[in-house]
Amino acid sequence: MQPSSSFFPTIRLKPKSDPRKIRHGFPWVYANELVTDRRTKALTPGAVALLEDADRAPLALVAVNPESRIFARVLGRPDAEMPVGGPDRAWFAARLQRALDLRERLFDAPFYRLIHAEADGLPGVIIDRFGDTAVVQPNAAWADARLEALTEALVAVTGVTNVLKSASGRARGLEGLDDVSATLAGTAPDAPVPVQMNGATYMADVTGGQKTGLFYDQRPNHAFAARLSQGAKVLDVFSHVGGFGLACLAGGADSAVAVDGSAPALALAEQGAEAMGAGARFETRKGDAFAQLEALAAEGARFDVVICDPPAFAPSKQALEAGLRAYERVARLAAPLVTEGGFLGLCSCSHAADLSKFRAASIRGIGRAGRDAALIHTGQAGPDHPMHPQLAESGYLKALFFRL
């Protein structure tokens, strides 16, 4: 390989666009920051280009997508080595190996997020590992166009035998990509994959479940909740496949009730409880979470630990105010269900709602419920979900634990 700047097309920042944020590590360039003439608009989605500032000084090697609001994603510095055709198997293998080295330091078993997009040097790419199966979400055009090379490198570096493509989620639509999931290598598992975390057993549906089939990001927050739950009655709202409820049972809870709107997710939660020998202490309630919280209050139900982990109520800036009202409502309805001296855990995976805004909404809700609270712990995603220091969106997960 040779220095790359000589054989890639160039794209250029507008004179009023500040190049310093790219030099300082920001990984995206928006379409309105670029000179987008007919030539740049004609670039193939996924092509590699050299990004220059308005004075033609090189800034970065980028992957472009004229069909996306994020026109360019940084792949490396302008002097980085890059194959003429863009990332190939060897290029992917180097970045996958770097990510694998970190995960193998952190975890004893191969169940984790292997690639967390920009923070692992593969912008827009998510890879979750389930033993000998990996699920890839190629949510950017550059990676989607190179799935064969990515898959070959993934198999070679990790030794997985099955690689699945998950095309769910809104991100692919924003990139102009299809919504067709597929098997890229090996065969798709014909049954849920059991995953051990924090002493609990989770059943991951890697072909038909949400996203990749399991949310690894809450692992440290599950562990903290479990520490609060010895001998406790636990309520896990928006439970998916039993995330907090099963962890609390593994931590010594007397009982756990899981609430979710998805019957398949609750069925997987029940399978997990049975697999860990806790089926008799586990109960599910299917229905709208807000309605179930109101129903439990009307029944006079009380729990020592209540945890609410809803979907992203504020997935964009436009949805922020409505999302914050929803988080406040969750807190207002959940707080009355907590016993005196008990614990309330409230979570947000909305990157548009930063920690301070989410915390303020949660505290308002608790106050409107007539409860006094002390914030005892603030959690985030586990270390297999590293945060890109220049990209706030990669630090999306917040978990607040209150004693009421």
Spatial separation of the C-alpha atoms in residues 12 and 43, rounded to whole Å: 13
> Would you name the residues annotated as active-site residues?
349
Contact 9, 52 (CB under 8 A): no
Pinpoint the residues of the chain covered by CATH 2.30.130.10.
10-76
pLDDT of residue 181: 94
Pinpoint the residues of the chain covered by CATH 3.40.50.150.
193-403
pLDDT of residue 4: 53
pLDDT of residue 6: 65
CATH topology of domain 10-76: 2.30.130
pLDDT of residue 1: 42
* Domain at 193-403: CATH code: 3.40.50.150
Q: List the chain residues with pLDDT less than 50.
A: 1-3
CATH 3.40.190.10 for the 89-185 domain, yes or no:
no
| Of 370, 363, 353, 368, residue with least CA distance to 401 | 363
Pinpoint the residues of the chain covered by CATH 3.30.750.80.
89-185
**pLDDT (tens digit, 9 = 90+) per residue, 158-210?**
999 999 999 987 889 989 999 999 999 999 999 999 999 999 999 999 998 88
What are the C-alpha distances in Å from 29 to residues 19, 23, 106, 177, 213?
10, 12, 32, 19, 31
Q: Which two tokens stand for residue 76?
A: 């490396």
pLDDT of residue 2: 47
